[in-house]
Amino acid sequence: MKSPSEKVYFASPVWLQNILVSIYGYKLYRKRYTGIFNTIIQSVRDSRSWNKDQINAYQNEQLFSMVKHCRANIPYYQKLFADYGYHENSFTDLNSLKRLPILDKQTLQSNIPLFRYSGKKAYMIQNTSGSTGTPLSLDLDEYTYKLAMALVVEHEEYHGVPFGTRRATFAGRMIQNSDDLNPPYARMNSAENQLIFSSYHLNADTFNWYYNRLNKFSPLEIIGYPSAIADLATHYQIAKVKPLFRPRAIITNSETLLSWQRQIIEEVFKCKVFDYYGTAEYLIFAGQDKEGKYRLNPLIGITELNSGQSSDKQGRLIATSLTNYQMPLLRYDLRDTANATYDDAENSSISYLEEIFGRVDDYIETPDGRKIGRIDHIFKGVFGIKEAQVVQDSLNKCTINIVPRDSLSSVDTDQLKRNLISRTCSEMQVVIQEKANITRGANGKFKSVVNRLNTKP
């Protein structure tokens, strides 16, 4: 159901919608980029050059302060520390953090009031989308919220995109009703020099409008969901045209960036893609550096890899907030998995993340208990696919939904089946279904793998 403000927006003419988008943009600008923001972003810039000792010293100090705050002011942790007999002095370094049990989303969801700091009003409340079935409302303090904004801005700056430059956004924004097929398919946020494009209206018939509008706007940055930007790039290839502008960087987020998506985006726009990973809980920020490694920013939180053995490079991401005193989360299971490289295997200090695989549920499971992630490699050598999604219906059956690039495309479905079987098991039954489009979630996000075996939140 649309809110009253949304009803007003969708009932307004396009010229007024642009004004309303900019008004909302200025409101967000004040909330995000004023006051202490300048001090925070300078800290972010400085932290990029910190060595291992500086990072450890900062995080040890911040961890002690956070634990002390939790013991004094957060009901959930007051009870937990009492039950375990812990004091803030029990946590003198990063390794001692492992004394605490891992916090799962279900426990947090069931005890939200016990995690809140009642001594101060929240700067804002972050409502998550609930893409895994369980939405959350999280309280944030001003520092944490503005730090999260500064981390994105600094990531863009690092890759040659100054703050406030022309930016084209392709994400899950519903800027006009889905059944309204009349252009324009973009709205201008003058507050941030941002042209927001609809990802829901792009097809072979409307692409020419997108092509001309992008050429006219000539953005120095394209930012958004990998699936949406890859879809845009595919239309350039189908139409056999090239953009008449060259961005300095493509910034992707919010979905797992697949190798074939990176390839097609970079090929069309002739510039690098620099992905970043963050979460709605504001516990972690990992932006790709110029070598493609996901560099963990040390200011916002501590990141661990929960794997079977300390020497394992792959596992579930566990994160601890170092800044959000309004609603601190210690050793929270992000339910995403990654490959990591360690600075020090003895104390599990992570240097950077090599790959981020996405949700734990987004795996293909085999009858013998293996979990297969990042299966985008099955599409290598198979041509004519615009986008695809693998759905696991049972332990020995997967359906691959494919959208052909155009009506003339002939997809080698036998090769696609063989590729998936070779990466899973010989008993896997593979069904190919051709579709007009892949259904997005309510937040506009695209899931490359849907595992229906595990429906827990």
Summarised one tens digit per residue, pLDDT across range 149-207 is 999 999 999 999 999 999 999 987 889 887 788 999 999 999 999 999 998 788 888 99
Mean pLDDT of 1-18: 85
Is there a single domain that holds both residue 13 and residue 111?
no
Q: Are strands 294-296 and 429-434 parallel, antiparallel or unpaired?
A: unpaired
Residue 306 near residue 102, CB atoms below 8 Å: yes
pLDDT for 404 equals: 86
pLDDT for 1 equals: 46
Q: Check which CATH number belongs to the domain holding 428 and give it.
A: 3.30.300.30
Domain stops at, among 234, 250, 271? 271
Give the SS3 label for residue 347. Answer: coil
pLDDT for 346 equals: 53
Q: Which long-range contacts (CB under 8 A, 24 or more apart) does 34-37 make?
A: 35/142, 35/146, 36/142, 36/143, 36/146, 37/146, 37/149, 37/150
State pTM to two decimals. 0.82
Summarised one tens digit per residue, pLDDT across range 116-128 is 999 899 999 987 6
Is there a single domain that holds both residue 284 and residue 336?
yes
Summarised one tens digit per residue, pLDDT across range 208-248 is 999 999 999 999 999 998 888 998 999 999 999 999 999 99
Judge whether residue 311 has pLDDT over 80: no
pLDDT for 78 equals: 96
More confident call, 311 vs 102: 102
Residue 321 near residue 282, CB atoms below 8 Å: yes
331 lies in some domain: yes
Confidence band, pLDDT 50/70/90 cuts, at residue 130: very low
312 lies in some domain: yes
Is there a single domain that holds both residue 41 and residue 144?
yes
Summarised one tens digit per residue, pLDDT across range 259-270 is 888 999 999 999
Residue at 198: amino acid letter: S
335 lies in some domain: yes
154 lies in some domain: no
Is there a single domain that holds both residue 59 and residue 124?
yes
CA 4, 6, 11, 16 torsion-angle sign: positive
For residues 124, 129, 134, 137, the Cα torsion angle rounded to the nearest 10 degrees is: 10
pLDDT for 362 equals: 66
Is there a single domain that holds both residue 306 and residue 265?
no
Summarised one tens digit per residue, pLDDT across range 335-358 is 888 888 876 655 456 778 988 876
Judge whether residue 319 has pLDDT over 50: yes
Confidence band, pLDDT 50/70/90 cuts, at residue 133: very low
Confidence band, pLDDT 50/70/90 cuts, at residue 425: confident
More confident call, 220 vs 255: 220
Is there a single domain that holds both residue 390 and residue 355?
no
Judge whether residue 142 has pLDDT over 70: yes
- Please tell me the total count of domains within the chain: 3
155 lies in some domain: no
254 lies in some domain: yes
Judge whether residue 443 has pLDDT over 70: no
**The two three-digit tokens of residue 51, written as one number:** 């060595």
Whole-angstrom distance, CA of residue 30 vs CA of residue 9 = 21
Domain stops at, among 328, 359, 390? 359
Q: Check which CATH number belongs to the domain holding 132 and give it.
A: 3.40.50.12780
Judge whether residue 391 has pLDDT over 50: yes
pLDDT for 28 equals: 96
Domain that holds residue 203: 4-34+160-271
Domain stops at, among 271, 289, 314? 271
Judge whether residue 257 has pLDDT over 50: yes
Q: Check which CATH number belongs to the domain holding 219 and give it.
A: 3.40.50
Is there a single domain that holds both residue 15 and residue 41?
no
Is there a single domain that holds both residue 94 and residue 171?
no
Whole-angstrom distance, CA of residue 451 vs CA of residue 394 = 9
Q: Nearest CA to 33 among 191, 167, 181, 170?
A: 191
Is there a single domain that holds both residue 17 and residue 52?
no
16 lies in some domain: yes
457 lies in some domain: no
Judge whether residue 4 has pLDDT over 80: no
pLDDT for 202 equals: 87
pLDDT for 451 equals: 84
Is there a single domain that holds both residue 379 and residue 439?
yes
pLDDT for 132 equals: 42
Is there a single domain that holds both residue 214 and residue 353?
no
Is there a single domain that holds both residue 388 and residue 410?
yes
